[in-house]
Amino acid sequence: MSRVPLTIWVLGLTTLGLGLFLYKILVLGFPLVPETMAVRWNVEGRITFSAQGQPVKVSLYIPGSSTHFKVMYENFISRGYGLNTITESENGNRLATWSINKAKGKQIFFYRGVMRRTELDKKMPTQSPPAIEPPGFKGPYLEATEALITMIREQSADVDGLVVELMKRLNAPHPDENVSLLLQNRTSIAARAEAAVKVLAQAGIPARLVRGIRLAEQDRNVPVIPWFEVYDKGMWRSYDLAAGKAGVPDNYMAWWRGTKPLGQIKGGEGLEMRIAVNLDQEAAIKRAVDYGKTVTPFLIDYSLFSLPIQAQAAFSVLLLVPIGALLVVILRNIIGVKTFGTFMPILIALAFRQTNLLWGVVLFSILVALGLGIRHYLEHLKLLLVPRLASILIIVILLMAVMSVLTHKLGLEQGLSVALFPMVIMTMTIERMTIVWEERGAREALQQGTGSLLVAALACIVMQIRYVGHLIFTFPELLLVLLAGTLLLGRYTGYRLLELPRFRALIREKK
């Protein structure tokens, strides 16, 4: 075979990939291992609304520095709008106001901030007690509140105990009648937190509602989490209503306080803000990127770090796929593991990443087993191919829905993640497995089924290694080396490990 061109390709790709890799490490000083202490996050808010051709004024709360987090840097992208930010005296919130004389159609703003965790052990300064806003309870509500306060006061020694007791009552699956009256069927955490604040106000204890986000490693659509703070002994203390205890996890960052909504708009409608968060790829990378900009601006300007956070998050997943692909090549062509569909295991592995491995394997197995059972019955109905596939697809989706509801009722929240499985792939897997089962027997079908599951699990484990993710995202040029390796494997003509035992009969006779 003409091996020359392939060798040249492999050598070229490897040299280029490794060269860039070494240049970035040795000259620009990119870190080879992910830093263990992650202290900075990028927070990006994508604000959308539609303007109606009139003057527009949009007000939105933005995060400010607190005792836990410091806003290192922030910027706003809002073409043509005037912008000013103020700090409200009431709750210390920061409010950004955008305005323009005339705008029409869909509008998009961006807010970007870099947050740094500050020293946690720093003592908070004592603050003067805030004024209590009267909750304005009347009639039966006032009576119910007073009764509730009396009850919880009897069972608690101090403010902290009182708040915990109150949370316990608000969180009870079957609240007593006083609590039911106060909540009036609004059982969301936000509504309960709001009720808690009002009850505490009635009891003469200053409290306020807080809305914030969880600073995760990587999240493209961060939910706003409510909790509340209580003023006690000269300082504000946080209480996590969802967990029913004092203190919130230290990666909770307050966004704004009080009962007002996140934003308000005049002259437009459909105001929405989607928040994305990612761990700022370590200070060391920042330094390397800044240095690289002066040395080789081209290399940095056209790197993945120049992309918006949401795109970066998407790529950090995408870049893992080639690693899974290489794994599939090795397992199939060198080991000889049989799977359904070439890359089906990778797609399953991506789903496993989200569900966590054990749950993923369990849910996948149950779903496929049920699907196979039903598909087996469909065989008797003698359906033609396309309607049959469509029926299986519908059944798969129904099964996913039923499994979600059942596991949710049983309190197994992980079961909900069954919705993350790629349903078309599941459908094809069930169909192909049935065909193999019929044509080649149960053994072959189960062999290929477990083979697929095994490859998916392995791929998932490899893709979840933090070090691998860091390397491939920081040094995407390593993909060239990966490609070179895959090309080489493409010309591997030796035996597959698992085909050897099959041919053992050849040897015995010769002996």
Partner 1 sequence: MIFGLGRQLAKLGLLGINRRNAEFTLKYNQRRLYPLVDDKLLTKQLAQEAGIAVPELYGVIEAAYQLRELPVLLHNYADFVVKPSRGSGGEGILVISKSTKIYHRMDGALMDKVALNHYILNILSGTYSLGGHPDKAIIEYRVQFDPVFEKVSYKGVPDIRIIVFLGVPVMGMVRLPTRMSGGKANLHQGAIGTGIDIARGSTLTAVWHNKIVEDHPDTGRFITGIKIPGWSTILELASRCYLLTGLGYQGVDIVLDKDKGPLILELNARPGLNIQIANRAGLLPRLRLIERERQNLTSVERCVAFAQEHFGAEN
Tell me how many residues contact partner 1 (CB under 8 A).
31
Q: Does the protein bind partner 1 through residue 506 (CB under 8 A)?
A: yes
Over the window 240 to 259, marking each residue x when it contacts partner 1 by CB under 8 A and - when it does not, the resulting string is --------------------
Min CB(224)–partner 1 separation in Å: 47
Cβ proximity to partner 1: between 408 and 440 the closer is: 440
Q: Does the protein bind partner 1 through residue 510 (CB under 8 A)?
A: yes
In eight-state DSSP terms, residue 247 is B
Near partner 1 in 295-314, by CB under 8 A: none
Q: Which stretch binds partner 1 (CB under 8 A): 6-14, 70-78, 247-255, 495-503?
A: 495-503
Residue whose pair of structure tokens reads 């109150």 in the numeric block: 166
Cβ proximity to partner 1: between 97 and 333 the closer is: 333
Among 259, 303, 333, 414, binds partner 1 (CB under 8 A): 333
Q: Provide the sign of the torsion angle of the four alpha carbons 355, 322, 332, 334, taken in this order.
A: negative
Over the window 337 to 366, marking each residue x when it contacts partner 1 by CB under 8 A and - when it does not, the resulting string is ------------------------------
Among 37, 131, 386, 410, binds partner 1 (CB under 8 A): 386
Q: How far apart are CA 32 and CA 138, in angstroms?
A: 64
Structure tokens at 303: 């790197």
Among 26, 157, 410, 507, binds partner 1 (CB under 8 A): 507
Q: Does the protein bind partner 1 through residue 495 (CB under 8 A)?
A: yes
Cβ proximity to partner 1: between 178 and 427 the closer is: 427
Q: Where are the alpha helices (DSSP H) in 306-384?
A: 309-318, 321-329, 344-355, 357-381
Report CA-CA distances (Å) from 305 to 42, 78, 285. Answer: 12, 22, 9
Element (H, E) at 444: helix 442-464
Structure tokens at 32: 């080879």
Q: Does the protein bind partner 1 through residue 142 (CB under 8 A)?
A: no
Task: Assign 120 to helix, strand or coil.
Answer: coil
Main-chain phi, psi angles of 412, to 5 degrees: -95, 90
Among 398, 440, 442, 465, binds partner 1 (CB under 8 A): 440
Q: Which stretch binds partner 1 (CB under 8 A): 168-176, 274-282, 417-425, 486-494?
A: 486-494
Cβ proximity to partner 1: between 112 and 338 the closer is: 338
- Identify the CA nearest to 254 among candidates 37, 40, 71: 71
Cβ proximity to partner 1: between 186 and 491 the closer is: 491
Main-chain phi, psi angles of 182, to 5 degrees: -65, -40
Report CA-CA distances (Å) from 144 to 148, 170, 241, 410. Answer: 6, 13, 21, 33
CA atoms within 13 A on the CB side of 284: 15
Q: Does the protein bind partner 1 through residue 381 (CB under 8 A)?
A: no
Q: Provide the sign of the torsion angle of the four alpha carbons 380, 381, 382, 387, taken in this order.
A: negative
Among 384, 409, 410, 411, binds partner 1 (CB under 8 A): 384
Q: Does the protein bind partner 1 through residue 503 (CB under 8 A)?
A: yes
Q: Does the protein bind partner 1 through residue 505 (CB under 8 A)?
A: yes
Q: Does the protein bind partner 1 through residue 496 (CB under 8 A)?
A: yes
Element (H, E) at 329: helix 321-329
Instruction: Yes or no: say if 68 and 213 are a contact pair by the CB < 8 Å rule.
Output: no
Residue 461 carries which side chain, given as an amino acid letter? I
Q: Provide the sign of the torsion angle of the four alpha carbons 80, 85, 90, 93, taken in this order.
A: positive
Q: Which stretch binds partner 1 (CB under 8 A): 177-185, 311-319, 354-362, 440-448?
A: 440-448
Cβ proximity to partner 1: between 1 and 157 the closer is: 1
List interacting residues with partner 1 (CB under 8 A): 1, 333, 336, 382, 384-386, 389, 439-441, 444, 491-497, 499-510
